[in-house]
Amino acid sequence: MLEKKKFLTILGLFFGVFVTGADSFIISPILPEIARSFNASIALSAYGVTIYAIFFAVGSPLFGPLGDRYNKKTLLIIGILIFFVGSLLCGFSHTLIEFYIYRTIAGIGASLFVPNVWAFIGSNFNGKKLNQVMGIVMSGLSLSIAIGVPLGTLLAQLSNWHMAFWGSAVLTLVALLFILFAPKQNIINSKSVSYLASFKNVFLTKNAVPALMITLSWMIGFYGIYTFLGTYIQNNFKFNVAMTGYVFIAYGLSNFIASFFGGKVMNITGKKRSINLNAIFSIVFILGFIISKNNIWGIIILLILLAFAQGFGVTSLNSYIVNVVPSNRSTLMSFNSSFLYLGLTIGSGIGGIIYDSFGFAGVCLMASLGLFFAIIITNLLKGETQ
């Protein structure tokens, strides 16, 4: 019975990570319709994505210590319920301000839910099983990258843009139903532990800050290249938006496969070796973009290879980090989520400056440098988590 419950729990976590990840991507194809509905500009309507990301990034570390003091299953349920309410209400928005408010609610729900997903996995699974479960659940995020945009388009075509958010709410309910089967969580820390003590424990624990810096460096590199690859393909090969979208669907599906089976690869190589190897492979594939700059098939093949390296590497990184501070997993993983978004912000921001000045080749070099720093920090870590 317990194994069945754990299977349903994994399914629930997978759906939850998928829907909270896809929530940003489903807006992309329906932005023009949202703008017309609110009689607003595309830029103002797009703040719905920005607001969700900001409250996710800021809320994660603020809510992190709760998972170290209270039942993680309860927090997962509360987080996914808040996200459900936000997504559902987005579909009922009549003004842009209402839309912003409901996106804020969804972002807060996701910020409570997602870090506790990783902490829950770390608390309920060990060794090779942890690696496999981490890979399976993380593949939900990869799948959201692959099909988030077409999913938003499909749901909107069934009626209008409101349907995209109502469809998201239905998928959220499916995740909630499965999560209800999750086993009860033993609480390591007593409630007497202060809120600030969780932060102190994390930042004073060996390997915690360096591990977070790996995430930051890695994501600066990855999002630097990922943000501007579409622009480069459109400009260099005269692709339209739809054709470029197909290229990124290929990336997302490849990344999904890599993440799903990443645990098995990690069990063979070990976490730190997997992080190192896949960072090195990523650098090689990214530099390959410069060499294949006029060959679209070369770009696509390298992008698929990069997807596999990223899928294996990031799964290994998350599996490593979740065990660095066992008593404060939620706090640590909440900071890990924030560092991911910080990496996205820095990578895309610096990448934009470099792209304007030095072109896509300059962005490739910047991304490679970020991943190189991730390798250096990884090799400074002491020991290997189990």
Q: How many CB atoms lie within 10 A of CB 267?
A: 17
pLDDT, average across residues 100-116: 93
Burial class (CB in 10 A: 0-12, 13-18, 19+), 383: exposed
Least confident of 110-124, 192-206, 225-239, 254-268: 192-206
pLDDT, average across residues 192-207: 78
H helices, E strands: number in the chain: 14, 0
| Residue of 168, 230, 215 whose CA lies nearest to 24 | 168
2-192 adopts what CATH topology?
A: Growth Hormone; Chain: A; (1.20.1250)
SS3 content of the chain, % helix, strand, coil (to 5): 85, 0, 15
Query: What local confidence, expressed as pLDDT, does residue 175 receive?
Result: 92
With beta carbons less than 8 A apart as the criterion, state whether 122 and 326 touch. Answer: yes
pLDDT score of 280 more than 60? yes
Least confident of 46-50, 281-285, 313-317: 46-50
pLDDT score of 384 more than 70? no
In this chain, the answer to whether the domains covering 2-192 and 202-380 adopt an identical fold is: yes
Which residue has tokens 């995430």? 215
CA dist., res. 251 & res. 176, Å (int): 28
pLDDT, average across residues 353-367: 93
Which residue has tokens 């830029």? 43
Q: Please tell me which residue, 41 or 182, carries the higher pLDDT value.
A: 41
DSSP string, 325-375: SGGGHHHHHHHHHHHHHHHHHHHHHHHHHHHHHHHHHHHHHHHHHHHHHHH
| Residue of 118, 97, 108, 98 whose CA lies nearest to 53 | 108
Query: What local confidence, expressed as pLDDT, does residue 214 receive?
Result: 95
pLDDT, average across residues 82-89: 96
With beta carbons less than 8 A apart as the criterion, state whether 354 and 366 touch. Answer: yes
pLDDT, average across residues 108-114: 93
Q: What is the three-state SS of 120-172?
A: HHHHHCCHHHHHHHHHHHHHHHHHHHHHHHHHHHHHHHHCCHHHHHHHHHHHH
Query: What local confidence, expressed as pLDDT, does residue 189 receive?
Result: 53
pLDDT in tens, 287-330: 999 999 889 999 999 999 999 999 999 999 988 888 888 878 88
pLDDT, average across residues 353-374: 94
Domain 202-380 indexed as CATH 1.20.1250.20: yes
- Terminal Cα distance for the chain, rounded: 26
Q: For the chain, what is the mean pLDDT? A: 86
pLDDT in tens, 230-269: 888 888 888 876 687 788 888 888 988 998 888 888 888 8
pLDDT score of 188 more than 60? no
Hey, where are the domains in the chain? 2-192, 202-380
Q: How confident is the model at residue 1 (pLDDT cuts 50, 70, 90)?
A: very low
pLDDT score of 22 more than 90? no
* Eight-class DSSP state of 94: -
Least confident of 84-88, 141-145, 190-194, 234-238: 190-194
With beta carbons less than 8 A apart as the criterion, state whether 323 and 316 touch. Answer: no
pLDDT score of 192 more than 60? no
Q: Please tell me which residue, 165 or 70, carries the higher pLDDT value.
A: 165
Which structure tokens are listed for 230?
């579409």
Q: How confident is the model at residue 340 (pLDDT cuts 50, 70, 90)?
A: confident
Least confident of 173-177, 201-205, 212-216, 364-368: 201-205
pLDDT in tens, 142-155: 888 777 767 776 77
CA dist., res. 72 & res. 65, Å (int): 11
Query: What local confidence, expressed as pLDDT, does residue 34 receive?
Result: 87
| Residue of 245, 223, 265 whose CA lies nearest to 146 | 245
Q: According to the per-residue pLDDT averaged within each range, which of 124-128, 175-179, 359-363, 368-372 is highest?
A: 368-372
With beta carbons less than 8 A apart as the criterion, state whether 330 and 72 touch. Answer: yes
Which structure tokens are listed for 286?
């990214």
pLDDT score of 98 more than 90? yes
Element (H, E) at 88: helix 72-90
pLDDT score of 386 more than 50? no
CA dist., res. 298 & res. 14, Å (int): 32
CA dist., res. 48 & res. 55, Å (int): 11
pLDDT, average across residues 325-342: 85
Q: What is the largest CA-CA distance in the chain?
A: 61
With beta carbons less than 8 A apart as the criterion, state whether 31 and 2 touch. Answer: no
Q: How confident is the model at residue 70 (pLDDT cuts 50, 70, 90)?
A: confident
Q: What angle do CA 6, 8, 10 make, to 5 degrees?
A: 70
Least confident of 105-109, 189-193, 240-244: 189-193
DSSP string, 191-210: TTS-HHHHHHHHHHSTTHHH
